[in-house]
Amino acid sequence: MYVLGIETSCDETACAIVESVGQEVKILSQQISSQIDLHKAYGGVIPELASREHLKNLPVILDSVLKTAQLKLEQIDGIGVTSGPGLKGSLLMGINFARGLSLAKNIPLIGINHIEGHILAPMLEHPDLDFPFIALIVSGGHTEIHLAKGLGDYQLIARTIDDAAGEAFDKSAHLLGFEYPGGPKLAQVADSVNSTNFKLPKVMRESPDFSFSGLKTAIALLIQKQKTELGDPKIFGSLCYAIQEAIVEALLYKLDKALKFTNVNKVVVSGGVSANKYLRKKIAEIKNVQCYFPQMQHCMDNAAMIALVAAKRFAHNKKLSDDLKVRARWPVETLNSNFTL
Ligand code: KG4
Ligand code: ZN
């Protein structure tokens, strides 16, 4: 079965085609067009600009993935499109484009939850990964931990009540003068030094959820205090190291609690921040736990993960009711109650 995945939930326009045979899902082609250069000047994503770009990019990217896979649209057996959570206008572009394709060629179309895409993304490279497992989803818009019990069956363990981990990276990076999105650049500097003279507070120990606002304030105060010294590469590197360590430590603390609480020994880490090398290293060091990370290109928003979830849903004949609605908010743990057989 050939499945086309379409992803436009934020500022990446992406299409991918996968072939599913039984449990196995093989990527035939994939393409992502990032809008980072467009939004950079504004220091963040401008929703109206993002929607317009999606509209422009979608036909070109679809054409390209069909060519690479050596397929015609008529040969596609099913389409999965991200229908939430995300920016309303961006989601609408993807959904309407997918609706058009589905109607024109009579191809079954289903809406996919973006977070479920991130949770299952490591299955693209690790088809042996089976349920149950703990999933830590860390990106620019999301920070959450779930117990993944089965396809569409996720139990929320912790979620951020304010900023996401990626935002904490990006906002700190902005204060240090890095261009948006500064997270990976800050991480690169942090990785080039291996210690710090600065101490940031350990936050949100008592609360069951994530919260990065306190840490963000502490980071801002620390940077302000060192303002005149930022030109010194040693101090600058040491600051980056302290920031990365504090954010990663906050993630690890809750992840460790979740593993103990559920007694599960498998963990998936996915979403843009899962590309962070220090985070990967620290998670790989957790004893008696098997870790699964997506390949770097599947950490960030991509359509292969959406096609993967769609392929699995088609294979199990598990359809969500009302799944093509644009949903700016769509908690992944509510999916189970939306299933129809
Ligand atoms: O999943 P993603 O592409 O988009 C969202 O859904 O948000 O994640 C992008 C986020 C950005 O905040 C970016 O700074 C962060 O992931 N990121 C990193 C790294 N690579 C990407 N943060 C820290 N270290 C990295 N290596
Ligand atoms: Zn994402």
Beta strand 266-270 pairing with 24-34 = unpaired
Tell me the pLDDT tens digit for each residue of 183-196: 999 999 999 998 89
Query: Reading across the β-sheet that carries 143-150, which strands appear in turn?
Result: 153-159, 143-150, 133-138, 266-270, 290-292
Q: pLDDT confidence of 100, banded at 50, 70, 90?
A: very high
**Average pLDDT for residues 7-23, to the nearest whole number?**
93
- What is the predicted pLDDT for the residue at 321? 74
Query: Residue whose CA is closest, atom 14 of ligand 1?
Result: 183
Which residue in 95, 73, 66, 122 sits closest to 6, CA to CA?
A: 95
- What is the predicted pLDDT for the residue at 340? 60
Q: How many whole angstroms from 272 Cα to the centroid of ligand 2?
A: 7
Higher pLDDT, 101 or 38: 101
Query: Residue whose CA is closest, atom 2 of ligand 1?
Result: 272
What is the C-alpha to C-alpha distance for residues 281 and 151, in angstroms, rounded to an integer?
Answer: 28
Q: How many whole angstroms from 272 Cα to the centroid of ligand 1?
A: 3
Query: Residue whose CA is closest, atom 7 of ligand 1?
Result: 140
- What is the predicted pLDDT for the residue at 339? 64
Tell me the pLDDT tens digit for each residue of 221-261: 999 999 999 999 999 999 999 999 999 999 999 999 999 99
Tell me the pLDDT tens digit for each residue of 289-340: 999 999 999 999 999 999 999 999 999 877 777 789 999 999 999 998 766 6
In short, whether 169's Cβ falls inside 6 Å of ligand 1 is yes
What is the C-alpha to C-alpha distance for residues 35 and 128, in angstroms, rounded to an integer?
Answer: 34
SS3 assignment, position 9:
coil
Tell me the pLDDT tens digit for each residue of 35-83: 777 777 777 778 878 889 899 999 999 999 999 999 999 999 999 999 9
Answer yes or no: are the C-beta atoms of 163 and 212 closer than 8 Å: yes
- What is the predicted pLDDT for the residue at 338? 66
Provide the CB-side half-sphere exposure for 287 (13 A, CA).
0
| Residues with a beta carbon under 5 angstroms from ion ligand 2 | 139, 301
In short, whether 85's Cβ falls inside 6 Å of ligand 1 is no
Give the 3-state secondary structure of 214-259.
Answer: HHHHHHHHHHHHCHHHCCCHHHHHHHHHHHHHHHHHHHHHHHHHHH
- What is the predicted pLDDT for the residue at 11? 86
Lowest-confidence segment of 31-35, 181-185, 196-200, 240-244 by average pLDDT: 31-35
- What is the predicted pLDDT for the residue at 151? 94
Q: Which ligand is nearest to the CA of 188?
A: 1
Tell me the pLDDT tens digit for each residue of 154-164: 999 999 999 99
The ligand 1 atom nearest the CA atom of 299: 1
Answer yes or no: are the C-beta atoms of 137 and 118 closer than 8 Å: yes
- What is the predicted pLDDT for the residue at 117? 98
pTM: 0.94
pLDDT at 203 over 90: no
